[in-house]
Structure 1
Amino acid sequence: MEFYQKLNLSIFIGSLLFLVGCETRREALGSDNEIRVICSELDKKDIRKFLTAIFTDTIYTPEPEPLYYLKFSDPETYNNLKTQAQVVVAAVARDPGNSGYQLVKRLLPPDQFADTESADPVILSKDVNALKQLFMVINAGSEEQLMETVKSKKNFIRKQFFDQFVDRQSRYIFGDDRNKKLEDSLETEFGWSLKIPWGWEIIRASKDSKFVWIGKEMPFQWIGIGWEEGNLVDDELKAGDYIWSWPSSHYGNIQFNDYKFEMKKSSYKDHQAWRAQGIWETIDTKESKGGPFRSYVFYNENNNRTYHLNYLIHRPGRDKSIFMRQLDLIIKTFSISQS
C-alpha cells in the first residue's frame, strides 16, 4: 500500500490517495466526535500536544468537554481502525524500533516520507480507506518541527473536521425519517420553517405568546423559538436583558446561571446577531436539573421582528458535546418564509 500527493501544498496541507484498485469502499465507521490516533507510546506525548493545540474548543456542560476526544491506539491496531471516520497515523521519534515510525514508513512512498520528515510533516486527505473519512499522517523529524506548524495549519485542519462533522451528522439527523408533518404545521401557522428530526414533538406553541417549544427525550433536549416586534439587537444592554430574562418568562421553571455565561456579537446567516451560551438550571423544584444552553438572537428587517433561537440539554454525568453540536445544526436550519 502507498499514498501519493496529488494537490498543491500551497492550497492544501496535503492529500493522500490510497490505491485500492476496483475495491468498493464502504462509509467510514465510528463516532464523529472521536479521533482515532495511531502511534507508539514513544510519540504519544508529542502527538497529544500537537492535536490539543489544534483542537482547542471546549464546551462547558457545566464540566468542560472537548469537541473531539483523542483515542490513542498502538500501531498494531492499524488494520482494525483504518476505516474509522477520523484517523491520525503519527510518528516523531526516529527510532527503528518505533512501531509507529515503521508504520508511517510503510504507508508513505520514499520521496513523500523524506519530504514530510524534513519539511512539511502533516498530510491530510479524505476517503483514503473509507468514504466520508478524514485521514491524517504525521511524520515529523522532531517535536519542534511539528509544533512549528500549528499556527499555519490550525484553521485549515479545524475547518476540514468541522465540515466533515456537519456533512456526516446532517445526513444522520436530517434523513428521510424527518418529522415533516410537524415541520409543515409550524410553517403554516407561524411563517417560519425548521428541519425537525424524528422523535421531536410539540410541548407548547402559541401565536399569542410568540413562542414555540419542542422537545425530545433520551437525552432530554429542548428547542425554544420566540419572536418580538421591533429591533432588540442594536442595543447590547437591551439584547442582554432580553436573553437573560427569556427562559423564566417562556419555559417558566428555568433560568440561566452566571457560571461561564458568555454573550458576544455574532451572525446568523445574513443577519447581525448575538450569541449567548452557558449553563441553565431549574428554579425552585424538588428535582434539580441543568446543563448547557446556547441562544442566537437576530433581527429580520423584512418583517421587523427579533427572533430568539434557544436550545438546551440535560444529560447528567454523560457526554453532551455531540448533542449540543447536533442541536446547533438543527437550529441553523431555521428559515423565515417569504410572505
Structure 2
Amino acid sequence: MKKTLRFYCFAAIGILFILLFSCSMKRESIGSHNKIIVVADSTVWAAVQDELKAALERITYTPQPEPIFTLLQKNPDELNRITRLPNILILGELQSQGEMKKLLDKLLSKESVARIEKDEAFLFQKKDAWALDQMLAVMASRDVETLKKNILEQSDKIFDVFDAFNESKTFRTIFSQLEQKDLESTLMSEHGWSVRVPHDYHVAVDSSELRYVWLRRFSPQRWFSAYWEQVDDPSVLSKEWLLQKRAAFVKEFYDGDYVYQDTLITVREKVVDFDGRYAIRLDGVWQNDKHVMGGPFRTYGFYNESDARIYLLDI
C-alpha cells in the first residue's frame, strides 16, 4: 500500500511538473514581421486610426511606394487567436469597458495606471510576452482625446519600438549561419576597422589607397560598402558631405547608379545613435538607367574619435 501510494505521489508530482513546464514553454512567433496587429475597440480605432497609421505605416520607396508596416485591427475578444503573431499592439483608454477593460487590467500594474491617469506614461513594451521573437506594445491613455494627442506627439517613439525590433530580427537571421571570421580579421589588420560578414558575401573592392571596401552578395543582390577619411574637423560631417563622398565611389564602381529624387522621393535625413556615436542616417532611392534598375539605399555617417576618422557606411 505504501509503495502504491508513493508511486501515485511521484506520478502526481511528475504530471504537475510537466504541466508547469509546458505552461512556461513558449513557441516561436509566426507570421509577417511587417504586419502589426492592433487590438482595439472599434470606437477607439475609428477615432485614432489615421494618426496611428501616419505613425507606423510610413512609406519607403523601392522605388515604388510601400508602407514599412501594415496595420490590421482586431477586437479584444479575438486576442486568443493572435497571440503567436510577432507584432501586437494593444490600444485603449482607461475608460474602456468589457473585454478591453479586462485586458488592460491584466496587463497594466496599479503604478502604470496611476501614471497613465496623470498623463505621465502612455507607451509600454514587452518582448516575448506570449511567444518567442514577439513584440507586445501597450498604448493607453485616460481618454480618447489624450490617446490621440500622445500618438501625434510620440509618433517617432512608437515607430522606433517596432522598427528596432524588426531590425534585431533581421540581424539574427543574417547571422544564423556561418560567419567569415577570417575576412573580419583581415579588415581589422589592414584597415583598422571590422564588421561582421555573413557567409555568402564576397569582396568586390578592397582598396587602402581609396579607403574603400565593397562587399557583395547575389541571389538576392545585397551590398555593404565602407569609406573612411581622417579629418581635423569632425563638424564637416553633414548630409551634403555624405552625398558627395557617396557619389564619388558610386561613379567609380557602380556602373551608372545615381541618387534619384523628384517632388515625392527625396533623401531623408535623421540623426541617430550608432553604437554610442552621434550619426547621420540617410534614406533614399538609387536608379540606374543603363541597366533599368533601382532600389532603396541607406547611408550612415559618423565620426570615430579614437582614430579621428569619419566613416561612411552604405547598404
Q: Could you state the TM-score of these two structures normalised by the residue count of structure 1? A: 0.66
Please state how far the C-alpha of 1:193 moved relative to its aligned partner. Answer: 0.8
1:243 partner letter: R
Matched, 1:107 2:103: yes
User: What aligned pairs does 1:183-194 form with structure 2 within 5 A after superposition?
Assistant: 183-194=184-195
**Partners of 1:68 and 1:272 in 2: how far apart?**
27
Q: Which structure 1 residue ranges, 5 or more long, are not aligned? A: 1-19, 96-100, 312-339
Tell me if structure 2 keeps the 8 A contact 1:224–1:310.
yes
Please state how far the C-alpha of 1:166 moved relative to its aligned partner. Answer: 4.3
1:103 partner letter: E
Tell me if structure 1 keeps the 8 A contact 2:48–2:148.
no
1:208 partner letter: E
User: What aligned pairs does 1:246-257 form with structure 2 within 5 A after superposition?
Assistant: 246-257=249-260
1:190-232 C-alpha deviation (Å, 9 max, x unpaired): 3321112232222232333332211223432221112345458
**Partners of 2:137 and 2:164 in 1: how far apart?**
15
Match of 1:280 in 2: 286
Match of 1:294 among 275, 291, 298: 298
**Partners of 1:137 and 1:300 in 2: how far apart?**
37
Once structures 1 and 2 are overlaid, which stretch shifts more, 153-162 or 202-211?
153-162
Matched, 1:244 2:244: no
Please state how far the C-alpha of 1:288 moved relative to its aligned partner. Answer: 0.8
In 2 relative to 1, CA 110–177 (structure 1 residues): closer, same or farther, beyond 3 Å?
A: closer
Q: Secondary structure at the match of 1:198?
A: coil
Q: Secondary structure at the match of 1:45?
A: helix
In 2 relative to 1, CA 122–233 (structure 1 residues): closer, same or farther, beyond 3 Å?
A: closer
Once structures 1 and 2 are overlaid, which stretch shifts more, 287-296 or 28-37?
28-37
Matched, 1:258 2:261: yes
Higher fraction of helix = 2
Tell me if structure 1 keeps the 8 A contact 2:228–2:309.
yes
**Partners of 1:28 and 1:174 in 2: how far apart?**
19
Please state how far the C-alpha of 1:104 moved relative to its aligned partner. Answer: 1.9
Please state how far the C-alpha of 1:255 moved relative to its aligned partner. Answer: 1.6
Tell me if structure 2 keeps the 8 A contact 1:231–1:306.
no
Tell me if structure 2 keeps the 8 A contact 1:104–1:139.
no
**Partners of 2:300 and 2:157 in 1: how far apart?**
26
In 2 relative to 1, CA 200–74 (structure 1 residues): closer, same or farther, beyond 3 Å?
A: farther
1:73-122 C-alpha deviation (Å, 9 max, x unpaired): 45564322112222124467x99xxxxx6432443449979969x94796
1:79 partner letter: N
Match of 2:49 in 1: 48
Q: Which structure 2 residue ranges, 5 or more long, are not aligned? A: 1-18
Match of 2:201 in 1: 200
Match of 2:15 in 1: none
Match of 1:308 in 2: 312
2:254 partner letter: Y
2:52 partner letter: L
Tell me if structure 1 keeps the 8 A contact 2:36–2:89.
yes
**Partners of 1:91 and 1:269 in 2: how far apart?**
34
Q: Secondary structure at the match of 2:261?
A: strand
Tell me if structure 2 keeps the 8 A contact 1:233–1:239.
no
Tell me if structure 1 keeps the 8 A contact 2:76–2:100.
no
2:223 partner letter: W
Please state how far the C-alpha of 1:156 moved relative to its aligned partner. Answer: 5.1
Please state how far the C-alpha of 1:31 moved relative to its aligned partner. Answer: 3.2
1:25-54 C-alpha deviation (Å, 9 max, x unpaired): 234333333211234655543352342254
**Partners of 2:178 and 2:40 in 1: how far apart?**
40
**Partners of 2:180 and 2:162 in 1: how far apart?**
28
Tell me if structure 2 keeps the 8 A contact 1:282–1:290.
yes
In 2 relative to 1, CA 63–87 (structure 1 residues): closer, same or farther, beyond 3 Å?
A: same
Once structures 1 and 2 are overlaid, which stretch shifts more, 103-112 or 35-44?
103-112
Aligned residues: 284
Q: Could you state the TM-score of these two structures normalised by the residue count of structure 2? A: 0.70
Please state how far the C-alpha of 1:245 moved relative to its aligned partner. Answer: 3.0
1:133 partner letter: Q
Matched, 1:224 2:229: no
What is the RMSD computed on CA atoms of the aligned residues?
4.0
